[in-house]
């Protein structure tokens, strides 16, 4: 074997080794039986739609990566230093048609598939607020974002926000399993981003506007609430806890919290009265 050929073979073996190590690292990842490749556990009824999009995108990217690596490997082994490169400046009509045709085929298969399915998911689930709001037991929560915390407000038995029986919590949101939860969010200072990784939901909260988000949980437990937008020096502290209860336990917590809210209500504390009239015209 000649020295140039040995160098090319070593390079190919190096690429193959890197791919093997990458796959080995995946095999040594978190052993928990999670869906997808390294994603947080999905506890949302509609979360599988997001996982499908991420998985399919990763597969397409992986296929293109392998094709390019194999293509370069063949070129490295086949052509030595004495090989004269053959090229044109892209002015040949035949080559231009081939390139455009191949690009159109790739975009039609990959991007077309992703675009169609993403549009369906938005219409059927993530932007279908009418479906969530018309549920007879839908839970409505107002979220007030500020540096550096999440305030949550639940309407009491009167169904109106900003009244004496409202439940107000700090970095603590509790919801029932199996029932749609609709959130309206505002910010009093800078841009924040309300992120629920286990619910596959994230929305930016921009000062001067009202953001909207809804989900239905399928499992109980405690899960992270994070801010996915850098919002200041203590951005890293802007963490809350989302607790998902069975419906019966949620109703018990709601009754106790509402009784405590009536006792703690102070009409003179205007700073605490940050609630707003529920916006019913956004869908």
Query: What digits encode the pLDDT tens for the residues 196-253?
Result: 999 999 999 999 999 999 999 999 999 999 999 999 999 999 999 999 999 999 999 9
Question: Average pLDDT for residues 105-126, to the nearest whole number?
Answer: 86
Domain that holds residue 27: 3-79+93-126
Residue 73 located in a structural domain: yes
User: Are 238 and 118 in the same domain?
Assistant: no
Residue 179, domain member (yes or no): yes
Least confident interval from 14-18, 99-103, 180-184? 14-18
Question: Given pLDDT bands bounded at 50, 70 and 90, which one contains residue 25?
Answer: very low
- Highest mean pLDDT pick, 56-60, 92-96, 202-206: 202-206
- With respect to residue 276, please indicate whether it lies within any of the assigned structural domains: no
- pLDDT over 90 at 18, yes or no: no
Is residue 234 within 8 A of residue 224, CB to CB? The reply is no
Distant-in-sequence, close-in-space partners of 239: CB < 8 Å, separation ≥ 6: 171, 224, 225, 226, 227
pLDDT computed for residue 37 by the predictor:
66
Asked if residue 107 and residue 144 are part of one domain, the reply reads no
Which residue intervals of the chain are DSSP H helices? 3-27, 47-78, 93-121, 129-133, 247-264
282, part of any domain:
no
Q: Which of the 8 DSSP states describes residue 124?
A: I
Percent of the chain scoring above 70 in pLDDT: 85
| Helices 47-78 and 93-121, axial angle in degrees (round to 10) | 160
Residues 212 and 104 in one domain: no
- Residues 181, 102 share a domain: no
For residue 75, the model assigns a pLDDT of 83
């Amino acid at each position: 074997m000649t020295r140039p050929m040995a160098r090319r073979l070593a390079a190919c073996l190096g690429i193959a080794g890197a791919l093997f190590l990458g796959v080995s690292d995946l095999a040594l990842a978190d052993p928990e039986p999670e869906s997808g490749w390294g994603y947080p556990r999905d506890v949302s009824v509609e979360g599988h739609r997001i996982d499908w999009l991420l998985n399919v995108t990763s597969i397409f990217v992986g296929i293109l990566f392998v094709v390019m690596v194999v293509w370069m490997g063949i070129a490295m082994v086949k052509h030595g230093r004495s090989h004269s490169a053959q090229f044109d400046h892209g002015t040949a009509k035949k080559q231009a048609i081939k390139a455009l045709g191949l690009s159109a085929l790739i975009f039609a298969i990959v991007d077309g598939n992703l675009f169609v399915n993403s549009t369906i998911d938005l219409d059927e689930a993530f932007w279908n607020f009418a479906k969530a709001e018309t549920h007879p037991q839908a839970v409505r929560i107002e979220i007030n974002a500020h540096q550096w915390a999440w305030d949550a407000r639940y309407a009491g038995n009167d169904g109106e926000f900003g009244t004496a029986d409202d439940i107000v919590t700090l970095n603590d949101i509790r919801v029932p399993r199996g029932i749609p939860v609709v959130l309206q969010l505002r910010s009093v200072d800078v841009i924040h981003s309300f992120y629920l990784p286990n619910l596959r939901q994230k929305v930016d909260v921009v000062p001067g506007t009202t953001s909207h988000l809804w989900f239905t949980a399928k499992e109980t437990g405690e899960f992270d609430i994070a801010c996915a937008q850098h919002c200041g020096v203590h951005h890293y502290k802007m963490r809350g806890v989302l607790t998902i209860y069975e419906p019966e336990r949620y109703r018990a917590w709601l009754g106790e919290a509402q009784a405590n809210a009536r006792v703690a209500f102070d009409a003179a504390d205007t700073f605490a009265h940050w609630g707003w009239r529920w916006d019913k015209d956004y869908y």
